[in-house]
Amino acid sequence: MTKTITLAHGNGGQENNLLISEVFYKAFKNDILDKSEDAAIIHNGELAFSTDSFTVSPLFFAGGDIGKLAVCGTCNDLAMMGAAPKYLTCSVIIEEGFETRELEKIVRSMKKELEVNGAVIVGGDTKVVPKGSVDKIFINTTGIGEVLKKGISSNSITKDDIIIVNRDIGCHGAAIFVAREGIEMSSSLRSDCESLFPQVKALLDANIDITAMRDATRGGVSAVLNEWAKQSNICVEVEEEKIQVRDEVRGICEMLGFEATALANEGTFILAVKKEDALRAVEILKTFESCKGAAIIANVTDAYTKKVVLNSSWGTKRFLDTPSGELLPRIC
C-alpha cells in the first residue's frame, strides 16, 4: 500500500481491490465477507444485506440524480444475489447552505425508485456539516432483501455457464463525464441508471438457471469479468463485437482514452447462466425497453486460469485486465 490514499484507491479497479484486501478484509476477515459477493447472504441464506455510499458529481445528470442512484445502487446489489429489495436505511451528510428545494427533488427521486423495487426506507440519519466539509450532499443507503433464489454466487461459475450482458455498456460513465465537463452534445446520451430488480424477477419467474449476477458499476464490465475469473478460478473468453457500445459512448471513450469496458454503469449487469438457458435469458431481457442490446458476450473455458481474454473483431486476442489508475472519480 502507498503511504496515503489516492483517488485511484476508489476506482473500482486494481488499486481499490488492494485497499479493500490490505486494509478492510485483513481486519474484518470472516467467511461471509470472504465470499466477496454483491451483497452478503445472511440468516441461513434467506436474506441479502448490502450498503453503498453516493458522492456523485454533479448531483443531477441526464438519466438520473444522486437520489435515484442511491436507491438503484443498493437495491441492484441485493437483486444481483437473487433477492427482492425490501428494507433500506438512508443516511445523508449535507453541507451547510444546500438548497432545501434540491434536497426535496433528490428525496422525490428516491421515493419513485423505491416504488419500482417494492422497497421502503425504515430508518436513517441526517448530519449537516459546515460549508466546505463535504461537497453539497453525500448519501448512504443500506438494504436488506429477501432471497428468492438461493445459491447465486460469483464463486460458482463453470464451463457449463454462458456469460450475458443485459444491454449496451458505458452510458453512466459517459453521461457523468459529459455533465461534469459541460460538454454540449446534441445526442440522446443518458445514464443507464435503473433498478435491475424487474429484470431479475422476470428471469427468475421464467426459471432461468442463473449461476451468478453482478452489476458492472465502477471498473465496468472489465472489473466484473476479472473478479469472476479470479473468484471462480476460470478463464472468460469475451467476443468484443458482441458487446454493444453506442457511438456517443465510443466518442467519449476516445476523448478520455478509456475503453468502454472500463466505464462505469448503473443499470448494466453481467449474468452467468446455464448454457441451455442462455438464449431464453437474452430473449427475456430484450423485452425490457433499455435492454435491446442484451447479448451473449462470453464463454467460460480453461485456456488460462483466472484470466479474461478478449477476442477482437479483427481476429486478435489479448488479455482484458482489471482497470487501474484514476478512472473517473465521484462517478457514483
Residue 215 C-beta: closest distance to Mg ion, Å: 4
Q: Per CB under 5 A, does 192 bind Mg ion?
A: no
Determine the size of the site formed for Mg ion (CB under 5 A). Answer: 3
Judged by beta carbon, residue 69 or residue 134, the one nearer Mg ion is: 69
| Binding residue (CB under 5 A) for Mg ion from 15, 38, 248, 277 | 38
Residue 69 C-beta: closest distance to Mg ion, Å: 13
- The region of 21-29, 38-46, 221-229, 257-265 touching Mg ion under the rule CB under 5 A is 38-46
Query: Is residue 97 left, alpha or beta, with left meaning phi > 0 and alpha meaning psi from -120 to 50?
Result: left
Q: Per CB under 5 A, does 248 bind Mg ion?
A: no
Residue 225 C-beta: closest distance to Mg ion, Å: 14
Judged by beta carbon, residue 14 or residue 311, the one nearer Mg ion is: 14
Residue 51 C-beta: closest distance to Mg ion, Å: 11
- In 3D space, the residue among 216, 163, 193, 197 whose CA is nearest the CA of residue 83 turns out to be 197
Judged by beta carbon, residue 48 or residue 308, the one nearer Mg ion is: 48
Residue 50 C-beta: closest distance to Mg ion, Å: 8
Judged by beta carbon, residue 48 or residue 285, the one nearer Mg ion is: 48
Residue 302 C-beta: closest distance to Mg ion, Å: 27
Taking the C-alpha atoms of residue 290 and residue 185, their distance in angstroms, rounded to an integer, is: 21
Judged by beta carbon, residue 14 or residue 217, the one nearer Mg ion is: 217
- The region of 37-45, 59-67, 130-138, 229-237 touching Mg ion under the rule CB under 5 A is 37-45
Torsion 326-230-209-299 (CA) sign: positive
Q: Per CB under 5 A, does 215 bind Mg ion?
A: yes
Binding mask 63-92 for Mg ion (x = CB under 5 A): --------------x---------------
Residue 73 C-beta: closest distance to Mg ion, Å: 8
The amino acid that residue 256 corresponds to is L
Residues engaged in binding Mg ion (CB under 5 A): 38, 77, 215
